[in-house]
A and B are shown apart, each in its own frame.
Chain A
Amino acid sequence: MGYPNQPHQRETPVLSRYFGDAEARTLEGWKKRGGYKALEKALGMAPADIVSVVKESGLRGRGGAGFPTGMKWSFMKPGDGKPHYLCCNADESEPGTFKDRELMRWTPHALVEGCAIGAYAIGAETAYVYIRGEFTEPLYWMEQAVKEAYAAGILGKNAMGTGKRIDVHVHKGAGAYICGEETALMNSLEGRRGNPRIKPPFPAVSGVFGSPTTINNVETLIAAAPILMNGADWYKKMSLSNPKSTGTKLFSVCGNVQRPGTYEVVLGFPFKEFLYDLCGGPNHGRKFKAVIPGGASVPIQTMDEAEATLMDYEGFVAQGSMLGSGGVIVIDDAQSMVSVIARIARFFAHESCAQCTQCREGTAWTTKIMERIRDGQGTMEDMDTLLDIADQMTGKTICVLSDSCAVPVVSGIKKFRSEFEALIQGRRFHPVIAAVA
């Protein structure tokens, strides 16, 4: 909803409707806004029917991978005699992404409701919401909401008087980007170091505590309630480009832009109009130079690519990037791309869990070489070395953190090679001159 700015008329606020509305945070306020009606409806349906509706709606995972949610839920086979678990991934730490933070601090009951619906649909009695430790405000509001929901009998052993047991627990992380990777999240929840696990077995077979588990992003779970209330067709119709991308999506916009904030648009919205109209365009006297549209681990887009993009899962891929988590980082002509990429590499080097050699060594060496080039100490061979390291880091490790570090480096060298060369050849980066050129 443009939060913290005024809502823009071209937005479609479904999930973000109550951002900034403090009353929506309380149980009473949430119920007044139609809250928990979807859960009531869900508990009156067969779990398989809920899965069918979500499948039919076309909802895809909003955390980054875009896997169809209904299909993920259908992997949880009922009657296998084991407890099932739902984990909500609220470890939002992908640089550029801050949509889940807004969802949790403004509409915590929406997530409690979404978790309860999701848990019931996959045959789980327990849902854990894994929230990163730095999110003190979302943690506070989520804990309050869970407490209120228990006191009102919405959660517990007789959820909403239906005799069904649904527990939701908030679990606080302790500072580790990698715990946003689903298998690392499960290890962390079990009280282990947050090292990702080798797949298979996949979580739906053997997840947290060795039981079948589904892991969903905050935004995905919250979207389930309006889908159940309004029907799959209503959701499916919200699509401006590719029918495989349905519904609304939150995009959190940051960096060198007039109006940073969290915006909600129907998938397929033109990215050019999004950047210049909704987000207000570049800061005074500046021009946009590049966009990283889906969090730091997706390929960097040039402005030609970005302006030709339709904002959905397929649209970003067609223009050389990925939708990812919807964390849009806008970079203007005052920034050196080499500095930006060097800082991203440093982030991944800091966050590598270090269990795979390619990642542990690759992220550190990439950072070292990128910073050498940034500081004017690089050589032309360094670019080839970076590409060689990136190749060794891609597709060879347990999780994709290693790949994520390689992606901005490879796309950066490919699309902004002249900036690398200029720094290597001893020409300093002059933002003011660049702005005129």
Chain B
Amino acid sequence: MTPDLVGGLESPDYASHDRSAHEPYTPVFTGEGKRELDELLTRYPTKMAALLPALWMVQRERGWVSEEGMVEVAGLLELTPAYVKGVVTFYTMYHQHPVGKYFIQVCTTSPCGICGAEDVVKAFLRHTNTGELGLTSPDGRFTVIEVECLGACGFATPVMVNEEFIESVTPEKVPDLLAKLA
């Protein structure tokens, strides 16, 4: 479960289950999307400052940030695609590959770690049938990762399922929690 450390820390391998990776890309910033971006641009003195919010919009609409998505954003904000990719790869929350319908992040940093977070991770891996951290279950529904400090340490173990934040998860609660996901 622990990736090997050689001069740095490895990210989980998301690439193994690229289902929608080769589907044609439909632009995000047309109609309502364009209006939302235009409103965002009024908040900042530079176009570049709208980069993080624009990437969030791509991920919200497409589920992940593909290279085509980066190219679209780059064009609108007058940046190079390479620059945008540089920013995307810095931040952990932008998915650079398709992920399961339910993207599950379990906090395992020290405060949660000493309250049993490892067992919560194991329960998720077992009940989602994903097998390994970072991989997507064969039915495409679940991806489970460990995440660094979710900032809710008093509610160990906090878990994020997509945008939903769930507090005080224990291994026993995992099956019920998963059953509630459609």
Residues of A within 8 A of B (CB): 4, 83, 92-98, 100-101, 132-137, 167, 169, 171-177, 188-194, 209, 252-256, 260-262, 296, 327, 329, 331, 335, 339-340, 343-344, 346-347, 349-351, 353-354, 360-361, 364, 367-368, 371
CB contact between B110 and one of A137, A253, A344, A351 (< 8 Å): that residue? A344
Closest to B86 in A: A193
The answer to whether B5 and A349 touch across the interface, beta carbons within 8 angstroms, is: yes
The answer to whether B87 and A191 touch across the interface, beta carbons within 8 angstroms, is: yes
The answer to whether B114 and A93 touch across the interface, beta carbons within 8 angstroms, is: no
Interface size class of chain B, counting residues whose CB lies under 8 Å from the partner chain: 35 or more
Cβ contacts B142-169/A at 8 Å (1 or 0 each): 0000011111111110001001110000
CB distance from A213 to the nearest CB of B (A): 12
The answer to whether A177 and B148 touch across the interface, beta carbons within 8 angstroms, is: yes
Expressed in whole angstroms, the Cα–Cα distance for A209 and B163 within the complex equals 30
The answer to whether A174 and B56 touch across the interface, beta carbons within 8 angstroms, is: yes
Q: With a CB–CB cut-off of 8 A, which chain B residues contact A133?
A: 56, 91, 93
Q: With a CB–CB cut-off of 8 A, which chain A residues contact B111?
A: 95-96, 254-255, 329
Q: With a CB–CB cut-off of 8 A, which chain B residues contact A83?
A: 45
Q: With a CB–CB cut-off of 8 A, which chain B residues contact A92?
A: 151
Known: A92-B151, A97-B151, A329-B111. A172 touches B53 (CB 8 A): yes
Interface centre among A137, A192, A368 (most CB of B within 10 A): A192
CB distance from A62 to the nearest CB of B (A): 15
Q: With a CB–CB cut-off of 8 A, which chain B residues contact A172?
A: 52-53, 56
Closest to B45 in A: A209
Q: With a CB–CB cut-off of 8 A, which chain A residues contact B109?
A: 95, 296, 343-344, 347
B106 interface residue, CB < 8 Å from A? no
15 sampled A-B residue pairs with Cβ under 8 A: A95-B149, A97-B153, A98-B153, A134-B165, A135-B151, A169-B43, A172-B53, A175-B94, A190-B48, A252-B154, A256-B114, A262-B154, A296-B109, A331-B114, A364-B5
Expressed in whole angstroms, the Cα–Cα distance for A331 and B113 within the complex equals 11
Expressed in whole angstroms, the Cα–Cα distance for A343 and B121 within the complex equals 15
Interface centre among B2, B8, B114 (most CB of A within 10 A): B114
Closest to A369 in B: B5
CB distance from A18 to the nearest CB of B (A): 18
Q: With a CB–CB cut-off of 8 A, which chain B residues contact A339?
A: 113
CB distance from A399 to the nearest CB of B (A): 15
Q: With a CB–CB cut-off of 8 A, which chain B residues contact A132?
A: 151
